[in-house]
Structure 1
Protein backbone atom coordinates (compact mmCIF):
# COMPACT_ATOMS: atom_id res chain seq x y z
CA UNK A 1 0.00 0.00 0.00
CA UNK A 2 1.29 3.44 -0.91
CA UNK A 3 1.83 5.84 1.99
CA UNK A 4 -0.35 8.35 0.10
CA UNK A 5 -3.24 5.90 -0.21
CA UNK A 6 -5.82 6.20 2.51
CA UNK A 7 -6.53 3.12 4.58
CA UNK A 8 -10.17 2.88 3.55
CA UNK A 9 -8.96 2.24 -0.02
CA UNK A 10 -6.54 -0.51 0.98
CA UNK A 11 -8.95 -3.39 1.36
CA UNK A 12 -10.07 -5.26 4.43
CA UNK A 13 -7.93 -5.56 7.54
CA UNK A 14 -7.52 -9.28 8.24
CA UNK A 15 -9.80 -10.75 10.90
CA UNK A 16 -11.66 -7.47 11.58
CA UNK A 17 -15.43 -7.99 11.14
CA UNK A 18 -16.84 -6.33 8.04
CA UNK A 19 -19.00 -3.86 9.99
CA UNK A 20 -15.95 -2.67 11.96
CA UNK A 21 -13.70 -2.19 8.92
CA UNK A 22 -14.52 1.54 8.58
CA UNK A 23 -13.65 2.19 12.22
CA UNK A 24 -10.42 0.19 11.91
CA UNK A 25 -9.46 2.08 8.75
CA UNK A 26 -10.17 5.45 10.40
CA UNK A 27 -8.03 4.60 13.43
CA UNK A 28 -5.11 3.47 11.28
CA UNK A 29 -5.47 6.61 9.17
CA UNK A 30 -5.37 8.68 12.36
CA UNK A 31 -2.06 7.13 13.41
CA UNK A 32 -0.54 7.73 9.98
CA UNK A 33 -1.70 11.34 9.87
CA UNK A 34 -0.52 12.15 13.41
CA UNK A 35 2.95 10.90 12.52
CA UNK A 36 2.95 12.83 9.24
CA UNK A 37 1.64 16.10 10.70
CA UNK A 38 4.11 16.11 13.57
CA UNK A 39 7.25 15.52 11.52
CA UNK A 40 9.59 18.32 12.49
CA UNK A 41 7.18 19.70 15.06
CA UNK A 42 9.01 21.75 17.71
CA UNK A 43 8.80 19.89 21.02
CA UNK A 44 8.74 23.12 23.01
CA UNK A 45 5.39 24.00 21.38
CA UNK A 46 3.67 20.73 22.33
CA UNK A 47 1.58 22.35 25.08
CA UNK A 48 1.09 25.83 23.57
CA UNK A 49 -2.51 26.90 23.10
CA UNK A 50 -2.69 29.22 20.10
CA UNK A 51 -5.73 31.49 20.18
CA UNK A 52 -6.82 29.79 23.40
CA UNK A 53 -7.43 26.50 21.58
CA UNK A 54 -6.33 23.03 22.69
CA UNK A 55 -2.65 22.16 22.45
CA UNK A 56 -1.17 19.47 20.23
CA UNK A 57 -0.26 17.58 23.42
CA UNK A 58 -3.88 17.66 24.56
CA UNK A 59 -5.13 16.27 21.24
CA UNK A 60 -2.61 13.41 21.39
CA UNK A 61 -3.52 12.48 24.95
CA UNK A 62 -7.24 12.98 24.40
CA UNK A 63 -7.59 10.68 21.38
CA UNK A 64 -5.74 7.97 23.28
CA UNK A 65 -7.91 8.44 26.36
CA UNK A 66 -11.21 8.51 24.48
CA UNK A 67 -10.31 5.36 22.57
CA UNK A 68 -9.45 3.64 25.85
CA UNK A 69 -12.71 4.78 27.47
CA UNK A 70 -14.89 3.72 24.51
CA UNK A 71 -13.32 0.25 24.57
CA UNK A 72 -14.01 0.04 28.31
CA UNK A 73 -17.68 0.99 27.89
CA UNK A 74 -18.02 -1.38 24.94
CA UNK A 75 -16.74 -4.15 27.20
CA UNK A 76 -19.52 -3.35 29.75
CA UNK A 77 -17.01 -2.07 32.29
CA UNK A 78 -16.83 1.04 34.42
CA UNK A 79 -13.88 3.39 34.21
CA UNK A 80 -11.06 2.81 36.68
CA UNK A 81 -9.50 5.44 38.91
CA UNK A 82 -6.49 5.40 36.57
CA UNK A 83 -8.73 6.24 33.62
CA UNK A 84 -10.33 9.10 35.58
CA UNK A 85 -6.86 10.42 36.46
CA UNK A 86 -5.83 10.20 32.80
CA UNK A 87 -8.98 12.09 31.79
CA UNK A 88 -8.35 14.78 34.38
CA UNK A 89 -4.78 15.28 33.12
CA UNK A 90 -5.26 15.12 29.35
CA UNK A 91 -4.58 18.83 28.98
CA UNK A 92 -1.86 19.02 31.61
CA UNK A 93 1.59 19.52 30.10
CA UNK A 94 3.45 19.34 33.41
CA UNK A 95 5.77 16.34 33.52
CA UNK A 96 4.17 15.15 30.29
CA UNK A 97 5.83 12.68 27.97
CA UNK A 98 7.39 13.80 24.70
CA UNK A 99 5.40 14.02 21.50
CA UNK A 100 7.11 10.81 20.35
CA UNK A 101 5.93 9.01 23.50
CA UNK A 102 2.40 10.39 23.10
CA UNK A 103 2.30 9.20 19.49
CA UNK A 104 3.56 5.77 20.56
CA UNK A 105 0.87 5.62 23.27
CA UNK A 106 -1.82 6.39 20.69
CA UNK A 107 -0.47 3.86 18.20
CA UNK A 108 -0.34 1.20 20.92
CA UNK A 109 -3.95 1.94 21.91
CA UNK A 110 -5.04 1.72 18.24
CA UNK A 111 -3.43 -1.71 17.94
CA UNK A 112 -5.21 -2.78 21.14
CA UNK A 113 -8.45 -1.53 19.60
CA UNK A 114 -7.84 -3.54 16.43
CA UNK A 115 -7.33 -6.67 18.53
CA UNK A 116 -10.56 -5.84 20.35
CA UNK A 117 -12.35 -5.46 16.99
CA UNK A 118 -11.03 -8.85 15.86
CA UNK A 119 -12.54 -10.45 18.96
CA UNK A 120 -15.90 -8.68 18.70
CA UNK A 121 -18.58 -10.81 17.06
CA UNK A 122 -20.79 -8.89 14.64
CA UNK A 123 -23.79 -10.40 16.44
CA UNK A 124 -23.22 -8.14 19.48
CA UNK A 125 -22.67 -4.85 17.64
CA UNK A 126 -26.26 -3.68 18.17
CA UNK A 127 -26.24 -4.56 21.88
CA UNK A 128 -26.92 -1.69 24.24
CA UNK A 129 -24.06 -0.24 26.25
CA UNK A 130 -23.94 2.68 28.66
CA UNK A 131 -21.59 5.64 28.86
CA UNK A 132 -20.39 7.36 31.98
CA UNK A 133 -21.85 7.87 35.39
CA UNK A 134 -25.13 9.02 33.88
CA UNK A 135 -25.40 5.72 31.99
CA UNK A 136 -26.16 7.39 28.67
CA UNK A 137 -27.34 4.84 26.08
CA UNK A 138 -25.27 3.67 23.15
CA UNK A 139 -24.42 0.40 21.41
CA UNK A 140 -21.21 -1.54 20.86
CA UNK A 141 -20.94 -0.31 17.28
CA UNK A 142 -21.87 3.22 18.36
CA UNK A 143 -19.02 3.32 20.86
CA UNK A 144 -16.48 1.84 18.46
CA UNK A 145 -17.54 4.11 15.61
CA UNK A 146 -17.44 7.14 17.91
CA UNK A 147 -13.89 6.27 18.98
CA UNK A 148 -12.80 6.24 15.33
CA UNK A 149 -14.61 9.35 14.12
CA UNK A 150 -13.63 11.24 17.25
CA UNK A 151 -9.98 10.40 16.60
CA UNK A 152 -10.24 11.66 13.04
CA UNK A 153 -11.87 14.89 14.20
CA UNK A 154 -9.12 15.59 16.72
CA UNK A 155 -6.41 14.70 14.22
CA UNK A 156 -7.84 17.43 11.98
CA UNK A 157 -7.72 19.89 14.86
CA UNK A 158 -4.18 18.75 15.67
CA UNK A 159 -3.16 19.45 12.05
CA UNK A 160 -4.43 23.01 12.20
CA UNK A 161 -2.80 23.69 15.58
CA UNK A 162 0.49 22.09 14.60
CA UNK A 163 0.55 23.98 11.30
CA UNK A 164 -0.10 27.31 13.01
CA UNK A 165 2.60 26.67 15.61
CA UNK A 166 5.16 25.55 12.99
CA UNK A 167 4.49 28.74 11.01
CA UNK A 168 5.06 30.89 14.10
CA UNK A 169 8.66 29.66 14.55
Structure 2
Protein backbone atom coordinates (compact mmCIF):
# COMPACT_ATOMS: atom_id res chain seq x y z
CA UNK A 1 0.00 0.00 0.00
CA UNK A 2 1.15 3.55 -0.78
CA UNK A 3 2.34 5.47 2.30
CA UNK A 4 -0.30 8.02 3.38
CA UNK A 5 2.08 10.99 3.09
CA UNK A 6 2.62 10.32 -0.64
CA UNK A 7 -1.08 10.17 -1.50
CA UNK A 8 -3.10 13.16 -2.61
CA UNK A 9 -4.37 15.04 0.42
CA UNK A 10 -7.99 13.90 0.05
CA UNK A 11 -6.81 10.26 0.28
CA UNK A 12 -4.95 10.80 3.57
CA UNK A 13 -8.09 10.77 5.68
CA UNK A 14 -10.10 13.29 7.63
CA UNK A 15 -8.37 16.38 8.93
CA UNK A 16 -8.66 17.07 12.64
CA UNK A 17 -10.62 20.17 13.63
CA UNK A 18 -12.37 20.45 10.26
CA UNK A 19 -16.15 19.88 10.14
CA UNK A 20 -17.07 16.81 8.06
CA UNK A 21 -18.92 18.77 5.38
CA UNK A 22 -15.92 21.08 4.91
CA UNK A 23 -13.25 18.37 4.60
CA UNK A 24 -13.18 18.72 0.77
CA UNK A 25 -12.49 22.47 1.06
CA UNK A 26 -9.57 21.88 3.42
CA UNK A 27 -8.23 18.98 1.34
CA UNK A 28 -8.30 21.07 -1.86
CA UNK A 29 -6.47 23.99 -0.23
CA UNK A 30 -3.78 21.75 1.23
CA UNK A 31 -3.36 19.96 -2.12
CA UNK A 32 -3.01 23.32 -3.86
CA UNK A 33 -0.31 24.43 -1.44
CA UNK A 34 1.67 21.21 -1.96
CA UNK A 35 1.46 21.55 -5.74
CA UNK A 36 2.59 25.17 -5.71
CA UNK A 37 5.44 24.36 -3.33
CA UNK A 38 6.64 21.66 -5.73
CA UNK A 39 6.79 24.23 -8.54
CA UNK A 40 9.25 26.39 -6.60
CA UNK A 41 12.07 23.86 -7.02
CA UNK A 42 14.21 25.12 -9.88
CA UNK A 43 11.79 27.85 -10.93
CA UNK A 44 13.48 30.25 -13.41
CA UNK A 45 13.18 33.35 -11.19
CA UNK A 46 13.93 35.81 -14.00
CA UNK A 47 10.74 34.63 -15.72
CA UNK A 48 8.35 35.27 -12.80
CA UNK A 49 6.55 38.11 -14.63
CA UNK A 50 6.89 36.76 -18.20
CA UNK A 51 3.60 36.25 -20.02
CA UNK A 52 4.26 33.51 -22.61
CA UNK A 53 1.82 33.76 -25.52
CA UNK A 54 0.07 36.56 -23.63
CA UNK A 55 -1.17 34.34 -20.79
CA UNK A 56 -1.04 35.42 -17.15
CA UNK A 57 2.39 35.34 -15.52
CA UNK A 58 3.38 32.96 -12.75
CA UNK A 59 3.70 36.01 -10.51
CA UNK A 60 0.09 36.99 -11.24
CA UNK A 61 -1.19 33.51 -10.39
CA UNK A 62 0.72 33.48 -7.11
CA UNK A 63 -0.63 36.90 -6.14
CA UNK A 64 -4.16 36.01 -7.27
CA UNK A 65 -4.16 32.73 -5.34
CA UNK A 66 -3.46 34.68 -2.16
CA UNK A 67 -5.75 37.61 -2.86
CA UNK A 68 -8.84 35.82 -4.06
CA UNK A 69 -8.69 33.33 -1.20
CA UNK A 70 -8.53 36.25 1.24
CA UNK A 71 -11.43 38.04 -0.47
CA UNK A 72 -13.72 35.01 -0.65
CA UNK A 73 -13.12 34.17 3.00
CA UNK A 74 -13.88 37.78 3.93
CA UNK A 75 -17.25 37.51 2.18
CA UNK A 76 -17.91 34.18 3.92
CA UNK A 77 -17.47 35.99 7.25
CA UNK A 78 -20.06 38.57 6.06
CA UNK A 79 -17.41 41.31 6.03
CA UNK A 80 -16.56 43.89 3.40
CA UNK A 81 -13.17 44.21 1.80
CA UNK A 82 -10.64 46.52 3.38
CA UNK A 83 -8.61 49.19 1.61
CA UNK A 84 -5.57 46.87 1.82
CA UNK A 85 -7.49 44.06 0.12
CA UNK A 86 -8.66 46.38 -2.66
CA UNK A 87 -5.08 47.61 -3.11
CA UNK A 88 -3.84 44.01 -3.35
CA UNK A 89 -6.48 43.33 -6.02
CA UNK A 90 -5.47 46.41 -8.00
CA UNK A 91 -1.82 45.31 -7.95
CA UNK A 92 -2.25 41.66 -8.91
CA UNK A 93 0.04 40.97 -11.85
CA UNK A 94 2.57 43.65 -10.91
CA UNK A 95 5.82 43.11 -9.00
CA UNK A 96 5.57 44.55 -5.50
CA UNK A 97 8.44 45.63 -3.25
CA UNK A 98 9.36 42.80 -0.89
CA UNK A 99 7.06 40.35 -2.69
CA UNK A 100 8.80 39.86 -5.98
CA UNK A 101 10.13 36.29 -5.88
CA UNK A 102 8.45 32.93 -6.28
CA UNK A 103 9.52 31.96 -2.76
CA UNK A 104 8.09 35.09 -1.15
CA UNK A 105 4.84 34.89 -3.10
CA UNK A 106 4.53 31.22 -2.19
CA UNK A 107 5.07 32.08 1.48
CA UNK A 108 2.25 34.65 1.33
CA UNK A 109 -0.03 32.08 -0.31
CA UNK A 110 0.90 29.43 2.25
CA UNK A 111 0.10 31.82 5.09
CA UNK A 112 -3.27 32.58 3.48
CA UNK A 113 -3.99 28.85 3.25
CA UNK A 114 -3.26 28.57 6.98
CA UNK A 115 -5.71 31.41 7.71
CA UNK A 116 -8.29 29.76 5.47
CA UNK A 117 -7.90 26.42 7.24
CA UNK A 118 -8.40 28.10 10.61
CA UNK A 119 -11.56 29.78 9.34
CA UNK A 120 -12.88 26.57 7.80
CA UNK A 121 -12.17 24.74 11.03
CA UNK A 122 -14.16 27.29 13.01
CA UNK A 123 -17.11 27.38 10.60
CA UNK A 124 -20.19 25.85 12.18
CA UNK A 125 -21.95 23.49 9.80
CA UNK A 126 -25.33 25.02 10.66
CA UNK A 127 -24.13 28.31 9.08
CA UNK A 128 -23.31 26.79 5.68
CA UNK A 129 -26.61 27.76 4.06
CA UNK A 130 -26.60 31.31 5.43
CA UNK A 131 -26.67 33.94 2.70
CA UNK A 132 -23.60 36.10 2.18
CA UNK A 133 -23.19 39.02 -0.21
CA UNK A 134 -20.34 39.07 -2.70
CA UNK A 135 -18.69 42.26 -3.86
CA UNK A 136 -19.98 45.80 -3.88
CA UNK A 137 -23.20 44.62 -5.52
CA UNK A 138 -23.70 42.09 -2.68
CA UNK A 139 -24.58 39.31 -5.12
CA UNK A 140 -26.09 36.55 -2.98
CA UNK A 141 -24.18 33.37 -2.23
CA UNK A 142 -23.90 31.20 0.87
CA UNK A 143 -21.13 30.40 3.31
CA UNK A 144 -20.79 26.97 1.68
CA UNK A 145 -20.85 28.46 -1.81
CA UNK A 146 -18.07 30.86 -0.94
CA UNK A 147 -15.91 28.24 0.78
CA UNK A 148 -16.41 25.78 -2.08
CA UNK A 149 -15.62 28.46 -4.64
CA UNK A 150 -12.50 29.43 -2.68
CA UNK A 151 -11.29 25.84 -2.98
CA UNK A 152 -12.20 25.26 -6.62
CA UNK A 153 -10.96 28.67 -7.75
CA UNK A 154 -7.66 28.01 -6.00
CA UNK A 155 -7.38 24.66 -7.76
CA UNK A 156 -8.19 26.26 -11.12
CA UNK A 157 -5.39 28.81 -10.78
CA UNK A 158 -2.94 26.19 -9.53
CA UNK A 159 -3.64 24.25 -12.73
CA UNK A 160 -2.99 27.34 -14.80
CA UNK A 161 0.18 28.03 -12.81
CA UNK A 162 1.42 24.49 -13.44
CA UNK A 163 1.03 24.98 -17.20
CA UNK A 164 2.62 28.44 -17.12
CA UNK A 165 5.62 27.17 -15.14
CA UNK A 166 6.06 24.25 -17.56
CA UNK A 167 6.13 26.69 -20.49
CA UNK A 168 8.57 29.00 -18.69
CA UNK A 169 10.88 26.10 -17.78
CA UNK A 170 10.93 24.91 -21.38
CA UNK A 171 11.69 28.43 -22.62
CA UNK A 172 14.50 28.77 -20.03
CA UNK A 173 16.32 25.68 -21.31
**TM-score, scaled relative to structure 1:** 0.97
Shift of 1:38: 2.6
Deviations 1:81-127 (A, max 9, x none): 10000000011125343111110111111111111111110000010
The correspondence for 2:129, drawn from 119, 126, 141, is 126
Structure 1's unaligned 5+ residue stretches are none
Shift of 1:3: 4.7
The correspondence for 1:6, drawn from 5, 8, 16, is 8
Which range moved further: 87-96 or 57-66?
A: 87-96
Q: Give the equivalent residue in structure 2 for 1:80.
A: 82
The correspondence for 1:148, drawn from 145, 148, 151, is 151
Shift of 1:4: 3.3
Q: Give the equivalent residue in structure 2 for 1:93.
A: 95
Secondary structure of the residue aligned to 2:6 is coil
Task: Please say if residues 73 and 130 of structure 1, whose CA atoms lie closer than 8 Å, have aligned partners that are also in contact.
Answer: yes
Secondary structure of the residue aligned to 1:130 is strand
Moved over 4 A (4+): none
Which range moved further: 72-81 or 90-99?
A: 90-99
Shift of 1:37: 2.0
Task: Please say if residues 4 and 11 of structure 2, whose CA atoms lie closer than 8 Å, have aligned partners that are also in contact.
Answer: no
The number of residue pairs the alignment matches comes to: 169
